[in-house]
Amino acid sequence: MVSDPIAYILWDHQQQLGICRKIESLIDDLFHPGYRRTGSAVLDYLTRDMVDHFADEHDLFDMLIGHFADDDGFRSIFALLREEHAKDERLIAPVVRDLTALVEGNELATPLNFLMNALALIETHRRHIAWENATVVPFATTYLTKEDIERLAHRMTARREGRAPVPNVAQPALD
């Protein structure tokens, strides 16, 4: 059970920064003996955990917007964050395609495309995380009600039902 959804989102941001570092290590040496294992871990995260994370945040955004329905400035922040998610999703698709090929032992037709997409994903995702940690998390800790937190925790837990237990996370230190 996700007991503290905001701490979990922050913890997940740390996991995503770790995935960015793993992608960088893959870029540095695609032919290192461990690249298939690392590539598989990255693929697993991008195709499952990242999808859950985006859904978690969209639930969070909707809850926060509900507190400021008439504030165009506030709504524009979340519209921009949703655009950032869409950009990440557009970059994830070709990275997943190329990583899948590499993990399966296939050569890439255009390795430069993989490198460019992977670097763009890392750059946009790091910026996206920093922005969310600086804006969304303070909004959430200030404006969400106990009922909001419970509803968010329930939705996050349901999304992960049937998988490994959700880690009990404490508020992580931010990079």
pLDDT tens digit sequence for 48-96: 999 999 999 999 999 998 888 777 788 888 888 889 889 999 999 999 9
* Per-residue model confidence (pLDDT) at position 123: 95
pLDDT higher than 90, residue 35 = no
Helix or strand run (H / E) with residue 80: helix 72-103
Position 51, amino acid: V
Residue 73: its pLDDT value, please?
81
Question: Cβ(154)–Cβ(124) under 8 Å?
Answer: no
Among 30-34, 42-46, 105-109, 110-114, where is mean pLDDT lowest? 30-34
Place of tokens 């997943």: 96
- Give the 3-state secondary structure of residue 161: coil
> Is pLDDT of 158 > 60?
yes
DSSP state, residue 3:
S
pTM of the shown model: 0.87
Whether the pLDDT of residue 146 is over 90: the answer is yes
- C-alpha to C-alpha distances, 156 to 44, 80, 105, 118, 169, nearest whole angstrom: 18, 23, 35, 28, 14
106-132 pLDDT per residue, tens: 888 898 999 999 999 999 999 989 999
- Dihedral sign computed on CA atoms, order 164, 46, 18, 27: positive
DSSP string of 32-54, one letter each residue: STTHHHHHHHHHHIIIIIHHHHH
Give the whole-number percent of the chain exceeding pLDDT 70.
Answer: 90
Return the amino acid letter for 35: Y
